[in-house]
A = this chain, B = another copy of it.
Amino acid sequence: MRSLTIHFLRPPQEGKAYIETVVERVGRTLTTVTARLIQNGKLQALATAAHAVPRETGGFVHAKMPDVRPPEECEAREPATDRDTPSMRDRYEQRYAIGPIPFSEEERTKEARSGGWIRLKEPRPWDTAEIAAISDAWPPAIFASRDMPPTSAGVPTVDLTVHILAPEALANLAPDAFVLVDFSTRAVQGGYLEEDGEIWSADGRLLAQARQLGVVL
Protein backbone atom coordinates (compact mmCIF):
# COMPACT_ATOMS: atom_id res chain seq x y z
CA MET A 1 0.00 0.00 0.00
CA ARG A 2 1.23 3.47 -0.91
CA SER A 3 -1.65 5.71 0.08
CA LEU A 4 -4.68 5.40 2.34
CA THR A 5 -7.36 8.03 2.85
CA ILE A 6 -10.11 7.62 5.41
CA HIS A 7 -13.05 9.99 5.73
CA PHE A 8 -14.97 9.57 8.99
CA LEU A 9 -18.72 10.17 8.83
CA ARG A 10 -19.42 9.29 12.44
CA PRO A 11 -17.17 8.34 15.36
CA PRO A 12 -16.78 4.53 15.12
CA GLN A 13 -17.47 2.60 18.32
CA GLU A 14 -15.39 -0.12 19.89
CA GLY A 15 -16.84 -3.49 19.03
CA LYS A 16 -17.86 -5.49 16.00
CA ALA A 17 -17.89 -3.82 12.61
CA TYR A 18 -18.62 -4.89 9.08
CA ILE A 19 -16.10 -3.86 6.43
CA GLU A 20 -17.21 -3.95 2.80
CA THR A 21 -14.39 -3.74 0.26
CA VAL A 22 -14.46 -3.10 -3.49
CA VAL A 23 -11.50 -3.49 -5.82
CA GLU A 24 -12.15 -0.45 -8.01
CA ARG A 25 -9.39 -1.03 -10.50
CA VAL A 26 -6.48 -3.44 -10.94
CA GLY A 27 -3.85 -1.82 -13.13
CA ARG A 28 -0.36 -2.78 -14.18
CA THR A 29 1.27 -0.38 -11.71
CA LEU A 30 -1.63 0.97 -9.63
CA THR A 31 -4.50 -0.83 -7.91
CA THR A 32 -7.23 1.07 -6.12
CA VAL A 33 -9.50 -0.36 -3.44
CA THR A 34 -12.31 1.26 -1.47
CA ALA A 35 -13.75 0.16 1.86
CA ARG A 36 -16.78 1.04 3.94
CA LEU A 37 -16.91 0.56 7.70
CA ILE A 38 -20.44 -0.22 8.84
CA GLN A 39 -21.71 -0.61 12.41
CA ASN A 40 -25.31 -1.24 13.38
CA GLY A 41 -26.29 -0.70 9.75
CA LYS A 42 -24.77 2.78 9.69
CA LEU A 43 -21.86 3.93 7.54
CA GLN A 44 -19.05 5.06 9.87
CA ALA A 45 -16.11 5.59 7.54
CA LEU A 46 -15.09 5.54 3.88
CA ALA A 47 -11.57 4.56 2.83
CA THR A 48 -9.68 4.62 -0.45
CA ALA A 49 -6.33 2.87 -0.80
CA ALA A 50 -3.82 3.03 -3.63
CA HIS A 51 -1.48 0.08 -4.01
CA ALA A 52 1.43 0.78 -6.30
CA VAL A 53 4.46 -1.10 -7.50
CA PRO A 54 7.83 0.32 -6.33
CA ARG A 55 9.74 1.87 -9.21
CA GLU A 56 13.41 2.53 -9.70
CA THR A 57 14.10 6.24 -9.97
CA GLY A 58 16.45 8.62 -8.26
CA GLY A 59 15.26 10.47 -5.23
CA PHE A 60 16.01 12.61 -2.22
CA VAL A 61 14.71 13.35 1.22
CA HIS A 62 15.08 16.99 2.18
CA ALA A 63 12.98 16.52 5.31
CA LYS A 64 15.15 16.28 8.44
CA MET A 65 14.75 13.61 11.05
CA PRO A 66 14.16 15.26 14.45
CA ASP A 67 17.28 15.21 16.65
CA VAL A 68 16.05 13.33 19.71
CA ARG A 69 17.45 11.05 22.35
CA PRO A 70 17.23 7.27 21.76
CA PRO A 71 14.10 5.52 23.08
CA GLU A 72 15.81 4.04 26.14
CA GLU A 73 16.64 7.58 27.35
CA CYS A 74 13.14 8.98 26.76
CA GLU A 75 10.29 9.06 29.20
CA ALA A 76 7.98 6.05 29.08
CA ARG A 77 4.42 6.94 29.91
CA GLU A 78 1.58 4.64 30.70
CA PRO A 79 -1.90 5.81 29.73
CA ALA A 80 -3.33 8.00 32.47
CA THR A 81 -5.85 6.10 34.56
CA ASP A 82 -7.75 9.19 35.69
CA ARG A 83 -8.73 10.19 32.17
CA ASP A 84 -11.02 8.53 29.71
CA THR A 85 -8.33 7.79 27.12
CA PRO A 86 -9.00 5.51 24.17
CA SER A 87 -8.05 1.96 25.06
CA MET A 88 -6.34 1.72 21.65
CA ARG A 89 -3.39 3.42 23.32
CA ASP A 90 -2.99 0.46 25.67
CA ARG A 91 -1.62 -1.46 22.69
CA TYR A 92 1.39 0.81 22.35
CA GLU A 93 4.55 1.55 24.23
CA GLN A 94 5.21 5.28 23.95
CA ARG A 95 8.35 7.27 24.80
CA TYR A 96 7.95 11.04 24.70
CA ALA A 97 10.79 12.80 22.90
CA ILE A 98 9.30 15.93 21.28
CA GLY A 99 7.20 18.52 23.12
CA PRO A 100 5.73 18.44 26.61
CA ILE A 101 3.85 15.39 27.88
CA PRO A 102 0.12 16.12 27.49
CA PHE A 103 -1.80 16.89 30.69
CA SER A 104 1.39 16.82 32.73
CA GLU A 105 2.85 19.64 34.81
CA GLU A 106 5.33 20.37 32.01
CA GLU A 107 5.10 23.79 30.47
CA ARG A 108 3.35 23.87 27.15
CA THR A 109 5.14 25.42 24.18
CA LYS A 110 3.92 27.96 21.64
CA GLU A 111 4.41 25.34 18.95
CA ALA A 112 1.75 22.63 18.68
CA ARG A 113 4.15 19.75 18.27
CA SER A 114 4.33 16.35 19.93
CA GLY A 115 6.15 13.13 19.19
CA GLY A 116 8.41 10.36 20.27
CA TRP A 117 9.16 6.71 19.97
CA ILE A 118 6.36 4.19 19.66
CA ARG A 119 5.99 0.45 19.10
CA LEU A 120 3.45 -2.27 19.73
CA LYS A 121 3.60 -3.84 23.20
CA GLU A 122 3.12 -7.24 21.56
CA PRO A 123 5.62 -7.18 18.67
CA ARG A 124 4.57 -8.29 15.22
CA PRO A 125 6.22 -7.57 11.87
CA TRP A 126 5.79 -3.97 10.77
CA ASP A 127 3.57 -3.43 7.76
CA THR A 128 1.65 -0.63 6.08
CA ALA A 129 -1.52 -1.33 8.10
CA GLU A 130 0.43 -0.87 11.34
CA ILE A 131 1.91 2.41 10.05
CA ALA A 132 -1.60 3.60 9.18
CA ALA A 133 -2.77 2.77 12.72
CA ILE A 134 0.27 4.53 14.24
CA SER A 135 -0.47 7.63 12.19
CA ASP A 136 -3.45 8.40 14.40
CA ALA A 137 -2.40 6.80 17.70
CA TRP A 138 -0.42 9.65 19.29
CA PRO A 139 -2.20 12.29 21.43
CA PRO A 140 -3.10 15.35 19.31
CA ALA A 141 -0.20 17.76 18.80
CA ILE A 142 -2.45 20.71 19.71
CA PHE A 143 -2.40 19.61 23.36
CA ALA A 144 1.27 20.71 23.43
CA SER A 145 0.48 24.34 22.57
CA ARG A 146 -0.40 27.08 24.96
CA ASP A 147 -2.19 28.72 22.02
CA MET A 148 -4.71 25.89 22.18
CA PRO A 149 -8.23 27.20 22.61
CA PRO A 150 -9.21 26.70 26.26
CA THR A 151 -12.40 24.88 25.29
CA SER A 152 -10.62 22.11 23.40
CA ALA A 153 -11.55 18.69 24.69
CA GLY A 154 -10.69 16.40 21.82
CA VAL A 155 -9.98 16.28 18.13
CA PRO A 156 -12.26 13.89 16.20
CA THR A 157 -10.82 13.21 12.75
CA VAL A 158 -12.73 14.36 9.66
CA ASP A 159 -10.27 12.80 7.24
CA LEU A 160 -6.82 11.23 7.40
CA THR A 161 -4.38 10.41 4.62
CA VAL A 162 -1.27 8.30 5.10
CA HIS A 163 1.43 8.08 2.44
CA ILE A 164 3.84 5.18 2.76
CA LEU A 165 7.09 6.60 1.39
CA ALA A 166 9.59 3.80 2.03
CA PRO A 167 7.90 0.38 2.03
CA GLU A 168 11.20 -1.50 1.69
CA ALA A 169 12.65 0.22 4.80
CA LEU A 170 9.44 -0.62 6.63
CA ALA A 171 9.73 -4.29 5.67
CA ASN A 172 13.26 -4.36 7.11
CA LEU A 173 12.27 -3.12 10.58
CA ALA A 174 12.57 -5.59 13.44
CA PRO A 175 9.17 -6.42 14.97
CA ASP A 176 10.23 -4.85 18.28
CA ALA A 177 11.80 -1.73 16.70
CA PHE A 178 10.58 1.67 17.80
CA VAL A 179 9.60 4.20 15.14
CA LEU A 180 9.83 7.94 15.74
CA VAL A 181 6.63 9.92 15.18
CA ASP A 182 6.56 13.73 14.90
CA PHE A 183 3.16 15.44 14.80
CA SER A 184 2.44 19.14 14.45
CA THR A 185 -0.49 21.49 13.94
CA ARG A 186 0.19 24.79 12.25
CA ALA A 187 -3.36 26.04 11.72
CA VAL A 188 -6.53 26.04 13.81
CA GLN A 189 -9.27 28.14 12.22
CA GLY A 190 -13.05 28.22 12.41
CA GLY A 191 -13.28 25.13 14.56
CA TYR A 192 -11.04 22.85 12.49
CA LEU A 193 -7.35 22.05 12.58
CA GLU A 194 -4.83 20.34 10.40
CA GLU A 195 -2.29 17.91 11.83
CA ASP A 196 0.77 16.71 9.95
CA GLY A 197 2.76 13.65 10.91
CA GLU A 198 6.06 12.13 9.92
CA ILE A 199 7.10 8.60 10.83
CA TRP A 200 10.84 7.80 10.84
CA SER A 201 12.83 4.63 11.35
CA ALA A 202 15.57 4.76 14.01
CA ASP A 203 18.19 4.72 11.24
CA GLY A 204 16.79 7.86 9.66
CA ARG A 205 14.47 6.73 6.89
CA LEU A 206 11.27 8.73 6.34
CA LEU A 207 8.81 5.83 6.35
CA ALA A 208 5.54 7.72 5.99
CA GLN A 209 3.74 11.03 6.15
CA ALA A 210 0.24 11.63 7.41
CA ARG A 211 -2.14 14.57 7.39
CA GLN A 212 -5.54 14.95 8.93
CA LEU A 213 -8.29 17.51 9.31
CA GLY A 214 -9.79 17.44 12.79
CA VAL A 215 -12.66 19.07 14.60
CA VAL A 216 -11.79 21.21 17.64
CA LEU A 217 -14.35 20.35 20.32
Contacts and interface: CB of A to CB of B under 8 A. Distances in A.
Interface of A: 2-3, 5, 7, 9-10, 24-25, 27, 29-30, 32, 34, 43, 46, 48, 50, 52, 54-63, 110-112, 145, 147-152, 158-159, 161, 163, 165-168, 185-194, 206, 209, 211, 213, 215-216
A145 B59 CA distance: 11
- State the copy count for this chain: 2
A215 to B, nearest CB: 8
A206 B190 CA distance: 12
Given A163-B213, A194-B209, 10 more contacts: A9-B30, A30-B158, A48-B48, A56-B190, A58-B149, A59-B187, A59-B191, A165-B194, A167-B190, A209-B211
A5 B159 contact: yes
Nearest to A185: B62
A48 B2 contact: no
B9 A24 contact: yes
A3 B213 contact: yes
Nearest to A152: B57
A56 B216 CA distance: 10
Among A2, A57, A188, A191, which residue has the most Cβ atoms of chain B within 10 A?
Answer: A57
Contacts of A111: 62
A169 to B, nearest CB: 9
A149 to B, nearest CB: 3
Contacts of A55: 190-192, 215-216
B151 A2 contact: no
Contacts of A161: 5, 159, 161, 211
24 contacts: A3-B158, A5-B5, A7-B32, A9-B25, A10-B25, A30-B158, A55-B191, A55-B215, A57-B149, A57-B151, A57-B190, A57-B191, A57-B216, A58-B188, A60-B112, A60-B145, A60-B188, A61-B186, A62-B111, A165-B187, A165-B190, A166-B190, A209-B211, A211-B211
A179 B190 CA distance: 20
Query: Which of A3, A7, A52, A111: most chain B CB closer than 10 A?
Result: A7
